[in-house]
């Protein structure tokens, strides 16, 4: 089926072709395929973790912690997933 896209719409993956024909004779064609990332289950890790958080004031530290911790305090697995990439984030709120 060929679908001419004239507005944004939800793409659920698969393969799509894009063609462009310019007035000056330029032609461009590309075929795109979705690259879904498989969900990898978290491995159990019973080790405690030290989470370094710093800020100029107590409010700044609380703001950083609240931003991460309020997402899920009910589930330890989810909480570990929230803090796992902390080294890639800014630890200071200046």
CA angle, 38 as apex, 45 and 77 as ends, to 5°?
25
Token digits for 8? 């944004």
Structural domain includes residue 54: yes
Residue 70: its pLDDT value, please? 55
Count of structural domains, the chain? 1
Structural domain includes residue 29: no
**48 vs 31: which has the higher pLDDT:** 31
Q: What whole-number distance in Å separates Cα of residue 31 and Cα of residue 17?
A: 4
Tell me the pLDDT tens digit for each residue of 67-94.
666 554 445 555 566 665 555 555 555 5
Structural domain includes residue 57: yes
Q: Is the pLDDT of residue 6 over 80?
A: yes
Q: What whole-number distance in Å separates Cα of residue 89 and Cα of residue 94?
A: 13
Q: What whole-number distance in Å separates Cα of residue 36 and Cα of residue 23?
A: 36
Structural domain includes residue 52: yes
Residue 28: its pLDDT value, please? 93
pLDDT (mean) for 35-47:
73
Tell me the pLDDT tens digit for each residue of 13-31.
788 888 888 888 889 999 9
Structural domain includes residue 15: no
The domain in which residue 69 lies consists of 48-86
Q: Is the pLDDT of residue 2 over 90?
A: no
**Average pLDDT value for the chain:** 73
């Amino acid at each position: 089926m060929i679908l001419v896209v004239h507005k944004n719409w939800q793409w659920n993956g698969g393969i799509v072709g894009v063609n462009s024909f310019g007035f000056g004779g330029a032609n461009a064609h590309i075929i795109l395929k979705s690259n879904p990332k498989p969900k990898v289950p978290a491995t159990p890790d019973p080790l405690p973790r030290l989470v370094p958080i710093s800020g100029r004031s107590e409010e700044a530290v609380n703001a950083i912690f609240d931003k991460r911790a309020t997402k899920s305090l009910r589930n330890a697995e989810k909480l570990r997933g929230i803090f796992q990439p902390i080294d890639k984030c800014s630890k200071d709120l200046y």
